[in-house]
Structure 1
Amino acid sequence: MGALGCWLVGLVAVVVTGMVSGFYLPGISTTSYTQDSPIDVYADRLESTHDSLPFNYYNLAFCEPEGEKKRTNMPNLGEILMGERDELTAMKAYMLGDRTCSIQCTKTLNAKQLKALREKIQEDYYMHLNVDNMALVIRGTSGEGSYPILGMPIGKFQDGDAVLHNHYKLLIKYHKSEFSATDLNIKNRKDDEVFNIVGFEGSPESRDYEDASEKEIVKQCKNNAGKPLVVSSNPAGQKITFTYDVTFEESDIKWATRWDNLLEADPDLRHVQWVVILNSIAITLFLTALVAVVLFRTVYLDFARYNNIDDSAEAQEETGWKQVNT
């Protein structure tokens, strides 16, 4: 089989593979949950309105799920094009199961990690979380009312100190699905009542639990006691505990319109990373041109080789008749 045949076989294989995998695009099909179904909380990236350079969520010393840090969510089409990957966080949620003051982890951060935290807080970095491909928003207020803000700030500067947000109040809005429990996307079926996630909101807080025990941490958290957690500059490091709440709220919003609310997001935080987009377009065009040149040269050489074979055969045939006539 010549080079042209190999290219044709490869092209058919690519087309068939695309047809097989093209029945489902992550983030397009609904995911239905029953009561107590696990809901994974994913982190996308850390992004700032003052710095165009995004960072991986685990570049900072956030809590990691035990043995599952490398587990990533199946990206949707937009995330694939933008080169984004969602990574599992240590926060756990179960459909309709409210959680109060759950502990993610307690970590002792060294001086280098604390310095990185202070820098990112000063540069106004936001974390981007999502559940079921639904981005987290916080509520901002203005003279015209409230509006959603994409992402959640990792901290703030207060009286010259870097204050870390180490407690997250998460609100998951759900809508009772109109589909039956025979839906293939349902996870851990227990009854006929199924739900779709239609909203994800958060509210960050700062709480200094100091060196309290786990029981005392939960008590302080529930009483909303304690002062804000200031990121230390102590070379010996600092112990930090991360906690979170999860609350569920029924909503009239249907799954098909759940993204409409994000269109009203604060334009300052909804900015598009033009540098990343242009870079992706440039790489795509370069690779496309490279493949086109290679394909053209291969096909051209194949046809040229076949033409040479025909010319040689005709020349031999003509030469043979001349020899007979002579």
Structure 2
Amino acid sequence: MLLNYQHHWIIDNMPVTWCYDVEEKQKFCNPGFPIGCYITEDGHPKDACVINSEFHERDTYYIFNHVDITIYYHVVEDEAKGSRLVAAKLEPRSYKHTHPDKADCSGPPMEIRNNKDDVEIRYTYSVTFEEEKEIRWASRWDYILESMPHTHIQWFSIMNSLVIVLFLSGMVAMIMLRTLHKDIARYNQMDSAEDAQEEFGWKLVHGDIFRPPRKGMLLSVFLGSGTQILIMTFVTLFFACLGFLSPANRGALMTCAVVLWVLLGTPAGYVASRFYKSFGGEKWKTNVLLTAFLCPGIVFADFFLMNLILWGEGSSAAIPFGTLVAILALWFCISVPLTFIGAYFGFKKNAIEHPVRTNQIPRQIPEQSFYTKPLPGIIMGGILPFGCIFIQLFFILNSIWSHQMYYMFGFLFLVFIILVITCSEATILLCYFHLCAEDYHWQWRSFLTSGFTAVYFLVYAVHYFYSKLQITGTASTFLYFGYTMIMVHIFFLFTGTIGFFACFWFVTKIYSVVKVD
């Protein structure tokens, strides 16, 4: 009760809700109800204890050992004797039954003091059926979704965030287009050798811009896995916007994401092999094996460790062993072969053609100023993308850890598109600054610049843990950060891939339209 543990019941695939009045005469329907509440030593009621004035004893726990369940049904006119459940609500109550052997749901509240060791608690319930003529089957979830707390504030905040990010993105795009237009016009007007000697900025590094990066094998593997996650996220959110993955279909969102990830092994293998070949790599077997097993293996190992903790705690949320075997079968029997097929077609094609030739001798990079050094640029690059998602991130974390439902997939899809645009433009802007400073190591930097958004994600998750949650157990803490690391890892690959593709397009474009002697 101190940790606000709750019951979660389901009838006909619908949560049994506890509806109560909140501020401004609004009603909030919670898809769960607490097991009890606590009155502090100074007489302050915590959580649900405020609903009953009889809960007043200090340093006392009150148990909700009785529930009045009301089931609302709608008679189907086309069927002679048929009806459908359209709502299920309850009222938690506390009774210290006058006759425990024959519970009569009467007596004072069931209280437990700290000085008692053994207490016998008798749980009871009552069920009432009421016909509801106005609520239809298709709209039976509306009363839950419409009562979510701060719905209007959420809409305003999301729209405000989208407007700000769109404005900033437009400013960045305008600055880039104006600056590049002047640079390209000036460089293309340099016809004499004397003018060519006065070249400066990003044109000087044209002979090194496509030089293979260090650790090109690892970068290509990350790009392959990131492409797989990027396509999976887009298709999943698109289906969710169409209504196929509504809260009524429990587990449909995760099932769709896993199935799509398994079927998208071919793009992962193709992208990884194509870029690895363009980096001059020759160990194609190692490349395809790492693409198929490295990033998915990290996620599965973390997930399996979290599941072991749930097994050890005896939690019903633990994934059965058979389900884990089925996931492994999907991975090894479908995803891995598809990855090999994609890698085969990727290595079979010619290497990516670059618009300029690479010099044999690397150009020396001059001394960099503070803001063009790698670490400051990477840290600054993740601020703007994180700014466009942190509001959505708050509500997503609430839906995962605070018993709230998330259903605004339309806004989430818009934020996804804005995140892609923002990551691309922020990374391109910083890449342009580095090229103007004659630093041509853009491959890893572009990946890490937008991928650093995941670090801000992790920092925000730590802040959310300490400010919003009341988790004290070691196992629960380990579970929270274990699952958070899975999300951070996936988000790092996702955003990093966006940044790299944006910079690759940008670099290829600007060096293909400029006359290079």
Q: Which structure carries more strand by proportion?
A: 1
Q: TM-score w.r.t. structure 2 length?
A: 0.27
Higher relative contact order (CA 8 A, sep 6+): 1
Q: TM-score, normalised by structure 1?
A: 0.41
